[in-house]
């Protein structure tokens, strides 16, 4: 899996998470999301529950579309000083790294 594929998976998962209960302003922000979009913290699109839901959706999508089984929310990941969940870009980079490590195992 390469970086561009990982960005697409993250953006697709964000967009698939939109439902009737999603605020219009959040729908617009998600529809316009890019690799630089902030996901978590500060002015991020997601609260902590939203991140958990996104990670679960991503794990399912990675398994279905790329046959890659990952646990994105590990203890070591959650305790990092700089969260890989800050932006679409940092999450995509983390997914590429974790997928490569999983393939080596």
More confident residue, 74 or 25: 25
The structural domains of the chain, with segments of one domain joined by +, span 3-104
36 pLDDT exceeds 90? yes
Cα 73 to Cα 32: distance, rounded to the nearest angstrom: 26
Question: How far from 53 is each of 35, 46, 103, CA to CA, in Å?
Answer: 19, 10, 24
pLDDT of 77 strictly over 80: no
Q: What backbone torsions phi and psi does residue 101 show, to the nearest 5 degrees?
A: -65, -40
Q: What is the pTM of this model?
A: 0.91
* Tens digit of each residue's pLDDT (9 = 90 or more) over 51-66: 999 999 999 999 999 9
Topology adopted by domain 3-104 = 1.10.1200
What pLDDT does 58 receive? 96
């Amino acid at each position: 899996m390469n970086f561009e594929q990982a960005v697409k998976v993250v953006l697709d998962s964000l967009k698939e998470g939109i439902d009737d209960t999603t605020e219009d302003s959040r729908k617009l922000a998600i529809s316009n999301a890019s690799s630089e979009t902030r996901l978590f913290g500060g002015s991020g699109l997601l609260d902590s529950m939203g991140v958990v839901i996104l990670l679960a959706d991503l794990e399912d999508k990675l398994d279905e579309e790329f046959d890659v089984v990952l646990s994105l929310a590990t203890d070591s990941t959650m305790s990092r000083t700089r969260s890989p969940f800050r932006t679409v870009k940092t999450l995509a980079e983390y997914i590429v790294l974790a997928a490569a490590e999983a393939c080596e195992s």
